[in-house]
Structure 1
């Protein structure tokens, strides 16, 4: 059956006109005449049977249907461009996978281990995007996501299936200078004393410190006070700068603890209420994803075994 698809040029003209809210600026971007852009958009409206723009006193504006369609078209064109660039980069050889990953886990844990994957599967190409919150896979070109959350949060991610990777124990860490400045000694503190230090907050986990203090049986009125950071990498940098105490997943600060630029502020980890998961859409699994998942699970098993033995 023949597909009912508009031309790519018409979609490009419409997307540019919608983004600029101007046929003239769209024409300049696409190196076309204004009349050519206008004809393409008119042809698209005829094809769809829907008005995408309406005339106003100041020019033109998207209709409600046009605004919705513009968002969808932009995503599809972006995906087509990514696919074309990936194929050109590989010259048609091998397979590729697009992953959405929580940023600090990607930079501090996953990427340093990727040379092993490259040695074992040199024809598998990985592309990375950042992911801090659940999203709809149907709206992206992403094949899978590595995400941290509770089992309940993962179950609520609609249309997906999840594979557990690593538990996430969190531990208070800070610069050794901070401990000396506030206590006069470099050693760790008890939870009550820790509650009096500046606490660095994670924007995506506003209750983290409160949960940690509750687990220690300590009343901490200022548990949710302090500067907020969206990424764990920002929070770790703030802790190293001496700005406060960060509640960090231990697997993300192993190198800093080993080198001494961060120290354990209180040796009481909060055991795995959250974990890292490989999340993928329900349905058929691409061979590239199956290969990557098998490698990732092996690496995570090794990491878990190392922690137990350590």
Structure 2
């Protein structure tokens, strides 16, 4: 059984005191805080006085009948704000799924749309007690300062403090619209005579692709995109040749909207992983989701 520790109540302020202090810090005055909280200015002042008496630290500087937070209290308010946001998020999660747990998952948009989303109906059928909440994050973040239970990560096993479940090795294929590329290229470096497209987070991909095909030490210029979805559409509409993970464009290759430019797909430097914080007790929704994902990989 997991041990829990009782929260000390000695320095745990009341919610009205926390709200009063946070509102004064954010609005800049007791009168504005009182109006926002539907209280009198005197009530705000009393809440702050009670807070100071409880914690034993001066929080307010009183100047000419005006209240101003001390520098230490301003720092404290930043922590209060994060805690209040966490409480609000927890309440929304409970309201959204009062019968079971919720899994807050950060996803990469292309992987989430093309690989994960088509499979989620199966997870929902197997685990109706779990609500999966999805939000897009393009880069690693600090789990300690977020409400996420886990994330989809592309790259290497370099997310600080995270545990990993490998999901998919990525293969890149050079493609273009048939309107732009009338026939497959005879040589890999012929691609340089065409406009090129690439992700702004992967500016070395074309150089790696050329080196793989025997043309090293090249770094051709290319139009930049922040997501595969927009880059794929640009390639379909003839804006240029693009290196795109094959699993994202299987329907476009099958329909002929995109055609291979030269050679087979090459292995990318990175892979896709499910990551979650190692130092946080694992909740049952994450355990169920991780186990289900393991089954999807084995299929």
Query: What interval of TM-score do these two structures reach, taking the shorter chain for normalisation?
Result: 0.7 to 0.9
Partner-residue secondary structure (3-state), 1:132 = coil
Partner-residue secondary structure (3-state), 1:195 = helix
Tell me whether 165-174 or 1-10 shows the greater mean CA deviation: 1-10
Q: Give the conservation status (yes or no) of the 8 Å contact 2:206–2:219.
A: no
Alpha-carbon distance between aligned partners in 2 of 1:264 and 1:37, rounded to the nearest angstrom: 68
The answer to whether structure 1 residue 229 and structure 2 residue 231 are counterparts is no
1:188 Cα shift? 5.0
Q: Give the conservation status (yes or no) of the 8 Å contact 1:177–1:186.
A: no
- 1:240 aligned residue: 236
CA RMSD of aligned residues (A): 3.0
Larger helix share, 1 or 2: 1
- 1:273 aligned residue: 269
Alpha-carbon distance between aligned partners in 1 of 2:62 and 2:236, rounded to the nearest angstrom: 56
The answer to whether structure 1 residue 203 and structure 2 residue 205 are counterparts is no
Q: Give the conservation status (yes or no) of the 8 Å contact 1:131–1:147.
A: no
* Cα distance change of structure 1 residues 35 and 108 upon mapping to structure 2, 3 Å threshold: farther
- 2:283 aligned residue: 286
Partner-residue secondary structure (3-state), 1:177 = coil
The answer to whether structure 1 residue 144 and structure 2 residue 150 are counterparts is yes
Alpha-carbon distance between aligned partners in 2 of 1:51 and 1:254, rounded to the nearest angstrom: 64
TM-score of the two chains, using structure 2 as the length reference: 0.82
TM-score of the two chains, using structure 1 as the length reference: 0.79
Partner-residue secondary structure (3-state), 1:93 = coil
Q: Give the conservation status (yes or no) of the 8 Å contact 2:163–2:275.
A: yes
Tell me whether 195-204 or 70-79 shows the greater mean CA deviation: 70-79
Tell me whether 9-18 or 104-113 shows the greater mean CA deviation: 9-18
Partner-residue secondary structure (3-state), 1:125 = strand
Alpha-carbon distance between aligned partners in 2 of 1:196 and 1:23, rounded to the nearest angstrom: 66
* Cα distance change of structure 1 residues 260 and 285 upon mapping to structure 2, 3 Å threshold: same
Tell me whether 251-260 or 64-73 shows the greater mean CA deviation: 64-73
Alpha-carbon distance between aligned partners in 2 of 1:254 and 1:110, rounded to the nearest angstrom: 15
1:47 Cα shift? 5.1
Alignment of 1:1-310 (within 5 A): 2-3=8-9, 4-21=11-28, 26-33=33-40, 36-37=43-44, 40=47, 44=51, 65-66=72-73, 68-90=75-97, 92-151=98-157, 153=158, 157-179=159-181, 185-187=182-184, 190-219=187-216, 221-223=218-220, 225-283=221-279, 284-302=281-299
- 1:307 aligned residue: none
Deviations 1:182-230 (CA, angstroms, capped at 9, x unpaired)? xxx144563211122222221222322222222222257552x233222
1:241 Cα shift? 3.0
Q: Give the conservation status (yes or no) of the 8 Å contact 1:189–1:265.
A: no
Alpha-carbon distance between aligned partners in 2 of 1:276 and 1:134, rounded to the nearest angstrom: 13
1:253 Cα shift? 2.1
Partner-residue secondary structure (3-state), 2:180 = helix
Rg larger in structure: 2
Q: Give the conservation status (yes or no) of the 8 Å contact 1:98–1:143.
A: yes
Alpha-carbon distance between aligned partners in 1 of 2:211 and 2:140, rounded to the nearest angstrom: 27
Partner-residue secondary structure (3-state), 1:176 = coil
Alpha-carbon distance between aligned partners in 1 of 2:178 and 2:40, rounded to the nearest angstrom: 64
Question: How many residues get paired?
Answer: 289
Deviations 1:6-29 (CA, angstroms, capped at 9, x unpaired)? 233333344444445555555554
Partner-residue secondary structure (3-state), 2:262 = coil
- 1:308 aligned residue: none
Alpha-carbon distance between aligned partners in 2 of 1:98 and 1:282, rounded to the nearest angstrom: 16
Q: Which runs of 5+ in 1 are unaligned?
A: 180-184, 303-310
